[in-house]
A = this chain, B = another copy of it.
Amino acid sequence: MSLNFAATKKLFVIPEGCIYLDGNSLGPLPKSAISKTRDVVEGQWGKMLITGWNKAGWMQQPIDFGNRIGRLIGAERDHLVVGDTLSIKVYQALASALELRPERKTILSDIGNFPSDIYIAEGLIKSLGKGYEINLVPPEELTKNLNEDVAVLMLTEVDYRTGRMHDMASLNKLAHDVGALTVWDLAHSAGAIEVNLRQVGTDFAVGCTYKYLNAGPGAPAFIYIAPQHANTIRPAISGWLGHAEPFAFEPYYRSGKAIERMRIGTPPVIASAALDAALDIWDQVEMVELRAKSVELTDLFIEKIQDTCQMLVLASPKDAKLRGSQVSFHFEEGYAAIQACISLGVIGDFRAPDIMRFGFAPLYIDEKDVLAACAIISKVMNERLWDRPAYKKKDKVT
């Protein structure tokens, strides 16, 4: 079943002269997404019009695509659904989880969580107005803050800045030991590392498909709910497609079965064409093999950069077992250095305050790319190319 990674590289559009180490922000275009998108637009929407909902299976896409993503992260079948954006999925997971622990008022998270997950929690608990608190601690202090006031432990598995990876299994166990539930954000995990939601007893998980999964800008997100909760939880955003019978147009809400109730509105059919193309590649990938390759690439990158760039301070764990599929460095003029790298064809990105971030996706990055990128980064650093006014102008939004 498994593709070799020399073969997968040919399945993506990578512009000439570009070493793309930013797939952790937005994955590149799978070549087949061009024809798939055209087929959905012209062949399905254009020809089938309204009948596409039945004939082309649009209505079932969120579950169908969910199962294909679910295989990559160890979800039970029919327990993961695609739709909306990651922020919405965080909101749904957190709102439902809090209701399962009504007597508890603390959401525990860490400062390595992606800020917008915290924003969503803030907005939700202000609406609820029931005395909830967010306890935001350094990652190493999570354990000592896990107590019986904690309703939900909400974490991003891989830190978006440093690539530091949490031990999901042990944190799930510690959370469950004190009666708390877990909500995991897999934004930098899905398609990047091995995840086995079922095996480690995760309660809720959410993620996006536009990063390592390569489904395109604004591609839909996903949500997973463990079987023991899926038929119990109440959806806070009780949308049309989460109804048991959406087309009965009943006056009041009745939850659809299990994860179906996390569906909200009309499925994003056109956006999902690219997701479908991306998943055609993922369907042939075994995550254990991808992870092994990712570790090789990131180890090599760290070794070479540390050999040649004294100014860059490793921000990621050196031990691959503690690291996702990205490598980050601290550098005060990191913003300018990233601009200089980009101008020489190495696309990484900058995250405030001083993080230079490089993502490694074995589907289209190989050893040759890593060595070529190291040579360019080393040139930028050692020839002080970052020290040019043009690179210091902060006019970029991402």
A residues with CB within 8 A of B: 13, 15, 18, 20, 22, 25-26, 28-29, 33-34, 37-38, 41-42, 45-47, 49-54, 58-59, 84-88, 91, 95, 99, 111, 115-116, 118-120, 122-124, 126-130, 136, 208, 210, 216-219, 221, 234-240, 243, 246-253, 264-274, 342, 347, 349, 351-352, 395-398
Contacts and interface: CB of A to CB of B under 8 A. Distances in A.
Nearest to A348: B50
Contact of A217 (B53, B130, B253): B53
Contact of A243 (B50, B116, B124, B264): B116
Contacts of A238: 119-120, 122-123
6 contacts: A45-B217, A95-B127, A118-B251, A119-B238, A119-B240, A120-B237
A114 B352 CA distance: 44
A143 B95 CA distance: 35
Contacts of A95: 127
A347 B99 CA distance: 44
B50 A218 contact: no
Contact of A351 (B116, B118, B236, B249): B249
A29 B53 contact: no
A126 B13 CA distance: 47
A29 B41 contact: yes
Nearest to A161: B249
A54 B349 CA distance: 13
Contacts of A111: 251
B221 A265 contact: yes
A53 B397 contact: yes
A34 B25 contact: no
Given A38-B37, A236-B124, A253-B123, A85 B49 contact: no
Given A15-B49, A58-B218, A122-B253, 10 more contacts: A15-B46, A37-B38, A88-B265, A95-B127, A115-B249, A116-B239, A123-B235, A123-B253, A124-B237, A126-B236
A376 to B, nearest CB: 17
A3 to B, nearest CB: 21
Contacts of A41: 29, 33-34, 37, 216, 274
Contacts of A42: 13, 29, 34
B85 A269 contact: no
A397 B54 contact: yes
Which of A18, A26, A34, A111 has the largest count of B CB atoms less than 10 A from its CB?
A26
Given A49-B347, A50-B25, A266-B218, A119 B397 contact: no
Contacts of A253: 118-119, 122-123
A330 B265 CA distance: 27
Nearest to A342: B51
Contacts of A269: 216-218
Given A52-B217, A218-B268, A271-B270, A240 B347 contact: no
Contacts of A266: 85-86, 208, 210, 217-218
Given A29-B41, A88-B84, A251-B111, A59 B239 contact: no
Contacts of A251: 111, 115, 118, 136
Contacts of A52: 26, 217
Given A127-B236, A252-B122, A347 B50 contact: yes
A128 B126 contact: no
Contact of A49 (B26, B84, B265): B26
